[in-house]
Amino acid sequence: MSSKDVIILTGNEVYLTDNFIGKLKKKYMSGFEDMNFFVIDNIKNRGDEVGRFMNTIPFMVEKKIMVIENCDFLTSKKSLAADDEKHIMGYLDSRVDENILIFNCSGIKVDSRKKLYKKINKMGSIVKYDKLKENELVSWIKMYVSKNNREMSDGDVHYLAQVIGYLDYESPLTLYDVKNELDKLISNTEKGGDINRSNIDSVTIISIENNIFKLVDFICEGNSDNAFRMVYDMIGKNVAAHYIFHMISRHYRLLLRLYLMEKDGYSSNEIQKAMGLRPFSFNKMKKQQRQLSQNKVKKIYDMCFDFDKRVKKGLLDMETGIDMIITAAKE
């Protein structure tokens, strides 16, 4: 029995989790999937099915695979029913098969103190797929583009990685979203052809965070015409005015914090880590900082703070508040 035959899959990158399961199916199953691959969406009152399926001989393939989804019973907030836990633990204690049992915990925070987790950690494997870091995402994009017989320069790959939104702070996007954008770019270019920045700008959905950077660029420059145009374009595309206001306020708060941390002697690396900023975002913020005095940043942030209170009391419309901020920034 292999130590890899019982697996807990964790992490937030669901694409890589699904890809892992897909590779196992490809490795151990060449047909007859209906009889050898089984998914349990909810284990409640079905714990006895685990042993029954796993302990039967694979039909015309090397191994059978069972995937248990919705594993919130491995979090700190929920637990397995006593009978289900008894059946699963009993199977793990006495199993003789070499089939593969997977607990798919993608997207949830597992509790390593759980009895079942400890058991699997000891006898099997914990496989974690977190979201890719910037250099990993760049490599993945290059691989996917090359696999689909397209070319991209290193500069354009880095540009796409930045603007697509996957790397944004607390972004909910996964590689499925990146793949969808790449598939659109691939379908709009010839086989063997180049995907360039012009293609990216015309086809790809640019992330809200990058749009906010552009909007604040316009506001910092006092370019009110473009700022107004961009705000109402975003609202026209169903981006809520409250969200735009929140992002502008957050951005000026970060700019103010940048000034204060520099004044207190923090290094660039320390500031980036404390503020949760990637080098790309930090460098853009530094550029904006050079256009504004600390007093100007504080003035706009104080306006945001005041407008937020007034909006919550019904004394100000949010879109009007955004207009007033853009106008004040030009003065």
Question: Is 216 found in the same domain as 194?
Answer: no
Residue 75: per-residue pLDDT: 94
Residue labelled with tokens 């100007």: 296
Q: Does a structural domain hold residue 184? A: yes
Residue type, 254: L
CB 291 within 8 A of CB 284: no
Least confident segment among 61-70, 200-209, 280-289: 200-209
Give CA–CA dist 199/186, Å, rounded: 10
Q: What contacts 275, CB < 8 A, 6 or more positions away?
A: 254, 257, 258, 261, 282
Question: Higher pLDDT residue, 185 or 288?
Answer: 185
Q: Does 38 reside within a domain?
A: yes
Q: Do 275 and 314 belong together in one domain?
A: yes
Which of 71, 102, 100, 99 lies closest to 84 in space, CA to CA?
A: 71
Specify the higher pLDDT residue, 286 or 132: 132
Widest pairwise Cα distance in the chain:
77
Higher pLDDT among residues 212 and 241, named by residue:
241
- CATH number at 10 reads 3.40.50.300
Shared domain check, 308 and 215: yes
Q: pLDDT tens-digit profile of 233-267?
A: 878 767 778 888 888 888 888 889 999 999 899 88
Question: Distance between CA 121 and CA 104 in Å, rounded?
Answer: 14
In a domain, 1, yes or no: no
Asked if residue 112 is part of any domain, the answer here is yes
Could you read off the pLDDT of 94-109 as tens digits, one per residue?
988 889 999 999 989 9
Read off the pLDDT band of 39 (50, 70, 90). Answer: very high
Residue 249 maps to which CATH number? 1.20.272.10
Q: Which residue bears the tokens 């015409």?
A: 225
Q: Among 203, 234, 249, where does a domain finish?
A: 203
Q: Which residues pair with 271 in a beta bridge?
A: none
Do 183 and 253 share a domain, yes or no?
A: no
Percentage of the chain modeled with pLDDT above 70:
96
Pair (66, 85) in one structural domain: yes
* Residue 119: pLDDT over 90: yes
Average pLDDT over every residue of 194-206: 82
142 and 215 part of one domain: no
pLDDT digits (tens, 9 = 90+) for 315-324: 888 899 899 9
- Please tell me whether residues 278 and 321 are part of one structural domain: yes
Residue 180 has pLDDT above 60, yes or no: yes
Same domain, 66 and 154: no
Q: Do 59 and 93 belong together in one domain?
A: yes
Domain boundary among 128, 144, 165: 128
Q: In whole angstroms, what is the distance from residue 331 CA to residue 328 CA?
A: 5
Lowest-confidence segment of 22-26, 52-56, 183-187, 312-316 by average pLDDT: 312-316
Whose CA is closest to 132, among 180, 175, 179, 177? Answer: 175
The pLDDT score that the predictor gives to residue 3 is 45
Q: How many domains does the chain have?
A: 3
For residues 295 and 253, membership in a common domain is answered with yes
Mean of all residue pLDDT scores within the chain: 88
Where does a domain end: 182, 203, 224? Answer: 203
Structure-token match 């270019």, residue found:
189
169 and 191, same domain (yes or no): yes
pTM recorded for the entire structure: 0.67
Domain containing 248 equals: 208-330
Rounded CA-CA distance 132/128 in Å is: 12
User: Do 195 and 91 fall within a single domain?
Assistant: no
2 band by pLDDT with thresholds 50, 70 and 90: very low
State the DSSP code for 96: -
* 240 vs 168: CA distance, rounded Å: 19
- Confirm whether 313 is domain-assigned: yes
